[in-house]
Amino acid sequence: MPDIPSAPSTELTTGSSGQRLSAEDVRYAATLTHLSLTDEEVESMRSQLSTVLDFFQTLQQVDTTGVEPTGSPTDVRSVMRDDEPTPSLTRSEALANAPHTEDDYVRVLPVLGR
């Protein structure tokens, strides 16, 4: 299992436009998401992500007393068909288009522990 870096120990600082992320915060997030950022990209992301945090700060100040929680501001209706059981593929049919198989399994490249 790969080592996960420790979170930055610094707290968000509050600047003139609200909460500000440090370059260390951005580099930490980039490491967790396997992104390589240049110093210029770190600064650009720091500014953009700080602006997003400012928007959330503004939203936290809205009084939502008595407002029912909702997942969508409009009526939601499913456009999907009903889920009806149908016959499954046989094992050989399921494996027929796999680029690589081993025994009765699809063989894939490892995705964990890179």
Would you say residue 38 lies in a domain?
Answer: yes
Q: Is there a domain that residue 30 lies in?
A: yes
Q: Is residue 108 part of a domain?
A: no
Say if 22 falls within a structural domain: yes
Assess if residue 98 is contained within a domain. Answer: no
How many domains are contained in the chain?
1
- The reply to whether 103 falls in a domain is no
Give per-residue pLDDT as tens, 23-81.
999 999 999 999 999 999 999 999 999 999 999 999 999 999 998 888 888 888 888 88
Domain holding 45, by residue range, is 13-60
3-class SS of residue 57 = helix
CATH code (residue 52): 1.10.20
pLDDT band for position 16 (cuts 50, 70, 90): very low
Helix, strand, coil shares of the chain, percent, nearest 5, are: 30, 10, 60
**Is residue 71 situated within a structural domain?**
no
Q: Is residue 2 part of a domain?
A: no
Q: What pLDDT, on the 0 to 100 scale, is given for residue 66? A: 92
User: What would the pLDDT profile of 92-113 be if each residue is shown by its tens digit?
Assistant: 999 999 999 999 999 998 887 6
Q: What pLDDT score was predicted for residue 35?
A: 94
8 Å CB contact between 5 and 31: yes
